Amino acid sequence: MEKILNDVVVIDAVRTAFGRAGEKGIFWKTRADDLCVPLLKALIERNHPMQPNMVEDVIWGATNQMKEQGGTIGRSISMLADWGWDIPGCSIDRLCASGLTATGFGVSYIATGMADCLVTGGVEHMGHLPMGYMRDPHPRAEEVMGDASAFNMGMTAENIHDRFPEFTREMADAYAVLCQKKADRAIKAGKMKEMIIPIEIELVDGISIIADKDQPPRPDTSIEGLAELKTPFREENGRVTAGNASGLNDGAAAVLLMDAEKASELGLRPKMRWVASAVVAVDPRVMGIAPVPATEKVLKKAGLTMEDMDIIELNEAFAVQALYCLDRLGLKWDDPRVNIWGGSIAYGHPLASSGPRLVAFLMNIFKENPGARYGLTTMCVGRGQGYSVIWENLLGE
């Protein structure tokens, strides 16, 4: 007997400001779980008549699930938000795509009738929990993944440069400058205000501020400045720098998913409808190429083409992998549909929160482009995976 899937819609998507990881970061004295709680509260406050008891599960991405991100953070944050004991929760780890996977799992729950309303999202405090913190790789890990470079994301980007030398450092730097310029225009135009939930925090010097602006963007980035940067992953003939890569960051993002009929019953207007999802695996040594087969797979599932994608949100782990993916998907490096408000090279990449951040960007760009019908969120994943999701604009003309 064929099962008819329920329509799954996005009601809202929010995030914190993103901070730089480390003592100079705005969230150095803020816990990861305390970044999540205000987002849960905001989703309820912004979407009357929503009540916490309508949420049937909190599915939360976290790459490093230990210390403040451990103990099943998806369960604890709803209680910290004063939602009581009755809201279940769990944690998901798919490295960089943990938050997008959490959202994908939430879609599956609702589509199959297991739930009507879920909150999904992710958090990463890379200042408190750096990449690889307390991990114990299997003795055969290097062997099965190809070599040691598979463990170092910067090296995987250098590997793409090696395998595909048509993508040069100069091209990567030019892409990075474009990203920063687009982000600067979007920030100055106030595009971030609706999605960023202000949080009161204490800085390292004891001063309290309201964190409502992203810390990583560098609007003064120039080709000349980038050319002078060192290549930390390969001293000789390296091409990957801090300027043409996403940074190490802290932040959280959340998505409110609902069954379309439930949204109608509550009088809530959906922003996007889920169309299709796809996940793939590739050579871990060039993990950044994975959005290509993931996107090809999801397009096939949806019966659509790249020409049908009106807005594309590609997570830029590194400029070179973004260039590769755009080229292999038949797009120009400066295609106006791609990362309209800039991407992770400017805003940062706090791992598990980056996928839901893509969803938030797409949702808000859809609002400004009612003529756009379909949008793509896609990202590469450490250890060689790719995740792509197609969404339909429900705020169209």
CB 61 within 8 Å of CB 352 = yes
CB 15 within 8 Å of CB 176 = no
- Amino acid in the structure at residue 382: G
DSSP helix, strand, coil percent of the chain (3-state; round to 5): 35, 20, 40
In the numeric block, which tokens belong to residue 376?
């793509």
Pairwise CA distance, residues 201 & 51, whole Å: 26
Residue among 36, 117, 325, 380 flagged as catalytic: 380
Pairwise CA distance, residues 183 & 37, whole Å: 26
Alpha carbon separation from 108 to 169, 241, 388 (Å, rounded) = 40, 38, 14
Residue among 125, 128, 161, 349 flagged as catalytic: 349
Pairwise CA distance, residues 205 & 220, whole Å: 26
Pairwise CA distance, residues 143 & 194, whole Å: 47
Report domain 8-127+141-390's class.
alpha beta
Label residues 117-149 b or e (16+ Cβ within 10 Å = b): bbbbbbbbbbbbbebeeeeeeeeeeeeebeeeb
**Residue 380 known to be catalytic:** yes
* Domain ranges, ordered by start, for the chain: 8-127+141-390
Residue by residue, pLDDT tens for the chain (397 residues) are 567 899 999 999 999 999 999 999 999 999 999 999 999 999 999 999 999 999 999 999 999 999 999 999 999 999 999 999 999 999 999 999 999 999 999 999 999 999 999 999 999 999 999 988 888 999 999 999 999 999 999 999 999 999 999 999 999 999 999 999 999 999 999 999 999 999 999 999 999 999 999 999 999 999 999 999 999 999 889 999 999 999 999 999 999 999 999 999 999 999 999 999 999 999 999 999 999 999 999 999 999 999 999 999 999 999 999 999 999 999 999 999 999 999 999 999 999 999 999 999 999 999 999 999 999 999 999 999 999 999 999 998 6
Pairwise CA distance, residues 361 & 339, whole Å: 9
DSSP class per residue in 26-37? TTTTS-HHHHHH
Give the pTM.
0.97
Residue among 96, 117, 179, 325 flagged as catalytic: 96
Pairwise CA distance, residues 200 & 127, whole Å: 18
Closest of 3, 6, 11, 4 to residue 270, by C-alpha: 11
DSSP class per residue in 36-105? HHHHHHHHHHTSTT--GGG---EEEE-SS-SGGGTTTHHHHHHHHTT--S---EEEE-BTBTHHHHHHHH
Residue 132 has what pLDDT? 84
Alpha-carbon 163 to chain mean position: 26
